[in-house]
Amino acid sequence: MAVAVVTGAGSGVGRAAARTLLAAGFQVALAGRREDVLHETAEGFPDSTLVVPTDVSQEDSVVALFDAVVAKWGRVDVLFNNAGTNVRATPIEEFSLSAWEKVVGVNLTGPFLCAREAFKVMKTRGGGRIINNGSISATVPRPHAVAYNATKHAMTGLTKSLSLEGRAHNIACGQIDIGNAATELTERMGQGVLQADFEVRPEPTFDVQHVADAVLYQAQLPLDVNVQFMTVMATTMPYIGRG
């Protein structure tokens, strides 16, 4: 049975993807900061889940996560690098170093650490797949979101690096860029968010299950096939031509 690790599995995209993988027969390690919500994600799948409270920005926490997965199932076939964070919209001249370090720690250091530990396991077991959660902001930025924009652009570089290094070891790496999937974090879109012209306007959202289905599609591909980059978004969101 294939084994997947999903970070940020306690809510939103992570929860939807984890439960979709579980329904498809995967064994899934659920990683996130809050143990209580991870157990909510695991409901109905007691024999197929492993709940591991994890802070992806901390090296020892990530190492412990992968140690726990290998101890239980002996392998890692898929990593969904999904955990991410942001802070309130702030002009760059007011953006604090502590806010920058918080976003970089979760959005960039975390995926690096998880990918590093996944590589260690996958190289010894014939390969695997890493799916990175990018964002529309990996291609086009939002105003007043310097750390989020920078880390999501950097995620694309990480994806390319992992793809390159993974070739020799049967490790595939792709990225899914998501635009306004309906989760707790995007509820504000309907009330209006800052646009590239610095006007505030509402934006459409779409059912997060479509993202989960896309993650499952990638996770089930044979390792000689890869979706390098995929964009899943609300059709009418301001993306093409933003700014």
Report, as residue numbers or ranges, the catalytic residues.
148
- Residues 236, 241, 243: CA angle, nearest 5 degrees: 115
One-letter amino acid identity for 54? Answer: T
The C-alpha atoms of residue 127 and residue 229 are separated, in whole angstroms, by: 20
Q: Which residues contact 217 (CB under 8 A, 6 or more apart)?
A: 227
One-letter amino acid identity for 6? Answer: V
CB 29 within 8 Å of CB 50:
yes
What CA dihedral angle connects 39, 233, 111 and 103, to 10 degrees?
Answer: -90
| Helix residue spans in the chain (DSSP H) | 12-23, 35-42, 59-73, 97-104, 110-123, 146-166, 209-219
Helix (H) or strand (E) run with residue 229 in it = strand 229-233
